[in-house]
């Protein structure tokens, strides 16, 4: 994947613009997600996200805090922007919010068997 494709994909993930235009622009979304997962998730996990049984029962949290990823994602789902979230949760940075979105995008690609 070229640097330009990576940047376009990052913008796609961050802006959550999954509509007919982006589907036609990214006909191989699953392939891109797979590539992105393979090459970047480890870095995200070690730099921004951690899971420790002694902290919040092992729930994935922002590293160095007790703020679970689900809290940040719920703020985003409620329509809050990054600046508002950082103001309400001053122990995090914009990069932490981006890491949460990347982690959620990764989890959305997982296959489950019921």
Q: Which CATH number goes with the domain that contains 67? A: 1.10.10.10
- Residue 41 inside a domain? The answer is yes
Write down the mean pLDDT value for the chain.
74
Stretch 24-32: mean pLDDT: 49
pLDDT of residue 45: 61
Structural domain for 52, as ranges: 3-108
Whether 54 is in a domain gets the answer: yes
Q: Which residues contact 100 (CB under 8 A, 6 or more apart)?
A: 49, 62, 69, 72, 73, 76
- For residue 57, is it within any domain? yes
CA-nearest of 67, 72, 68, 66 to 97 is 72
Residue 61 lies in a domain: yes
pLDDT(98) > 80 = yes
Average pLDDT rounded to a whole number, residues 19-40: 51
Residue 20 lies in a domain: yes
pTM, entire model = 0.60
* Section 82-102 average pLDDT: 91
**How does residue 72 score in pLDDT terms, banded at 50, 70 and 90?**
very high
Question: Is residue 22 in a domain?
Answer: yes
The number of beta carbons lying within 10 Å of the beta carbon of residue 42 is 10
Percent of the chain exceeding pLDDT 70 equals 57
Are the C-beta atoms of 85 and 92 separated by less than 8 Å? yes
Instruction: Provide the token pair at 107.
Output: 């989890």
| 98 vs 10: which has the higher pLDDT | 98
Rounded Cα gap, residues 1 and 36, in angstroms: 9
Select the more confidently predicted residue: 3 or 13: 3
Number of domains making up the chain = 1
Tell me whether residue 114 is in a domain: no
Domain contains 113: no
Token readout for 34 is 């797979």
């Amino acid at each position: 994947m070229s640097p330009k494709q990576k940047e376009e994909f990052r913008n796609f993930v961050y802006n959550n613009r999954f509509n007919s235009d982006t589907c036609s622009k990214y006909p191989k979304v699953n392939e891109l997600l797979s590539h992105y997962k393979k090459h970047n998730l480890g870095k995200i996990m070690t730099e921004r996200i951690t899971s420790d049984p002694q902290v919040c029962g092992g729930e994935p949290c922002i590293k160095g805090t007790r703020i679970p990823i689900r809290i940040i994602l719920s703020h985003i789902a409620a329509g809050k922007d990054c600046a508002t979230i950082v103001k309400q949760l001053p122990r995090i940075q914009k990069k932490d919010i981006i890491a949460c979105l990347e982690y959620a995008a990764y989890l959305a690609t997982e296959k489950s068997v019921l």
